[in-house]
Amino acid sequence: MAEVIQLEFFKRKQAATRGFKSWSKRFDDKLDEQTRLSDLADNTLLFLISPGDQNIFALYELVMGVKNLGIASDFFQLDKAEKMEVIDISIYVLDQLRFESMRRLDWLESGAGQPLPIVELVEQYPLLKELGPASIPTFNESHPKYQVYRELPELERETFLRKQIPEAINAFGKRLQD
């Protein structure tokens, strides 16, 4: 049994090394198989949540490295199913990163943080996506729009929360400039 655990640890460590290879060059963060979203520096988080090609390719690099599919420049050589998987997982991780920025702004309930290491978010995506709305964090009562959020039907709350993302990115960036 100990050998199985050791093998899983070794595989996860290798996946993290591959997944974070380009991130380690780009960011000053200590990145390994235990790194969680909450461990990322604010500047790193801002880069990753900001709109643009640079951040999405950084996410592709992460996903492709963890999944052992090559580097971001290999993306266009992947077959259609692999491309869709990389895109789906990247979008999921991007959502989690954006929720993390909202947590740091105290817009979301503090206990709503993503407990899994980043590498596991990628590896366990098939299981995590099945959680659906149960994995969507909730607005913090102290947020000025909380009352509007609270009065919405349950099914509309996720949409409302997601509509706050552009404002959150701007507020997070502004917070770093101050």
What local confidence, expressed as pLDDT, does residue 90 receive? 96
What local confidence, expressed as pLDDT, does residue 133 receive? 62
* Binned average pLDDT, 10 residues per bin, the chain of 178 residues: 68 91 93 95 96 91 95 90 96 94 89 80 89 76 93 90 94 90
What local confidence, expressed as pLDDT, does residue 52 receive? 87
What local confidence, expressed as pLDDT, does residue 6 receive? 79
Cβ neighbourhood burial of 138 (10 Å; 0-12, 13-18, 19+) = middle
Please enumerate in sequence order all residues whose Cβ is within 8 A of that of 174, keeping only pairs 6 or more positions apart, or say none: none
Domain assignments of the chain as residue spans, ordered by start: 2-177
- The number of C-alpha atoms within 13 Å of 110 and in the hemisphere containing its C-beta is 2
What local confidence, expressed as pLDDT, does residue 129 receive? 83
One-letter identity of residue 55: N
| Digit-coded pLDDT (tens) for 75-84 | 999 999 999 9
What local confidence, expressed as pLDDT, does residue 84 receive? 96
Q: How far is CA 40 from the centre of its chain?
A: 11
Partners of 117 in the β-ladder: 36
